Chain A
């Protein structure tokens, strides 16, 4: 359904709408902060360049087509379909008349794609952020840093299991405050 609008949305509005969609499994982060929102292309076709997929209820002048590329954190990530639906809903609410969400695998997602802001938000939510993987070509050699307890800040933590509540997390325990916590494991 298309809500009648006085003017079509500008690109910035659409980009902001996509950038603020939260991750279904880590809702403290947006898809953009998680680094899974790869690309967003906006075009405004007129009848001259495309008549094939013209929605009958939208006047030609108001057509706004958005194509979004997302990438899974893990190949088996079950949240991918929800991400696509959430993006489509947000973009349509912002005024897009046509939304296509495509899944791309290359280049493969890495925890290095999580933004600085995203790392702070993970920490604040009690989830230890991933360490740098050191995969960057030509960059400095990665150091093995200790993983801090997101509750008390202690570096004295032990791995309980490499696999936790979701594929992207490991389960650890703080040996100072004795609380278990999730850690987004490096990928």
Chain B
């Protein structure tokens, strides 16, 4: 696949054992959701060996692995997994900017997890229950929503513990919630191929967040949820500064040794 090219317009030749490929808007939807999962998976994997406690190291790696599984399933509906993950240029990635944000301190990561996993659980639930969404994506959604519930629970528990904790942990959690907030505007931008009631999903998301933040003695930030200078956003292939560095680290091995196996 040429770097930067749009999803394939016609089905690729498949052997009888491979599932049929998605095309058009359905492929775009799979790619967008797959990119969200892959990039957040990579960010969480950066914590491996660096988390504040061994249990947390294992937890973040497990969540990362779940997301990687989602990404692989979605990419395999569109084309070759490795080519899609390792051979696309920055502008060809359609993930929202929230998931590419650097890990920051632990509270920043938890804030990103809270915003994303609450939204993802709501989205997978809606996709799984909507007959208008492509069947292979619905099947994945029905599977993934059960795992995502554990991700949401993990972020939820940490938000309570940090927010309603010491002065230091509360300050850091509040900062994380504020810093990540300006990247949440894309979470409920309509995705081609997934005809869902996005404003209703966003309302559910806000209610859930207000509940957990109130219990954590915090409040939802009041500022804009998108930066004026982002000019569109991740869904259009426009990314923030740190994304290029993330791709360089994620892709360099595959690009240096094409087709390598072990």
How many whole Å from A20's CB to the nearest CB in chain B?
A: 24
In the assembly, what is the distance between CA of A187 and CA of B55, in Å?
A: 20
Which of A76, A78, A107 is B70 in contact with, Cβ under 8 Å? A76
8 A Cβ contacts from B78-124 to A: none
Instruction: Note all chain B residues with C-beta closer than 8 A to A102.
Output: 17
Q: How large is the interface on A (under 10, 10 to 19, 20 to 34, 35 or more residues)?
A: 20 to 34
In the assembly, what is the distance between CA of A95 and CA of B61, in Å?
A: 40
> Are the CB atoms of B55 and A160 closer together than 8 Å?
yes
> Are the CB atoms of A108 and B146 closer together than 8 Å?
yes
> Are the CB atoms of B58 and A76 closer together than 8 Å?
no
Which of B17, B56, B69, B154 is A75 in contact with, Cβ under 8 Å? B69
> Are the CB atoms of A76 and B55 closer together than 8 Å?
no
Known: A74-B66, A105-B73. A163 touches B139 (CB 8 A): no
8 A Cβ contacts from B9-45 to A: 17
Which of A107, A109, A167, A171 is B65 in contact with, Cβ under 8 Å? A167
Majority DSSP secondary structure for residues of B touching A = helix
Is there a chain A Cβ closer than 8 Å to B213's Cβ? no
Is there a chain A Cβ closer than 8 Å to B177's Cβ? no
> Are the CB atoms of A162 and B150 closer together than 8 Å?
yes
> Are the CB atoms of B17 and A72 closer together than 8 Å?
no
> Are the CB atoms of A167 and B59 closer together than 8 Å?
no
> Are the CB atoms of A161 and B65 closer together than 8 Å?
no
Is there a chain A Cβ closer than 8 Å to B67's Cβ? yes
Is there a chain A Cβ closer than 8 Å to B143's Cβ? yes
Given contacts A76-B66, A106-B139, A187-B146, 4 further A-B contacts (CB under 8 A): A75-B70, A76-B70, A162-B154, A167-B62
Q: Which residues of B contact A (CB under 8 A)?
A: 17, 55-56, 58-59, 61-63, 65-70, 72-73, 139-140, 142-144, 146-147, 150, 153-154
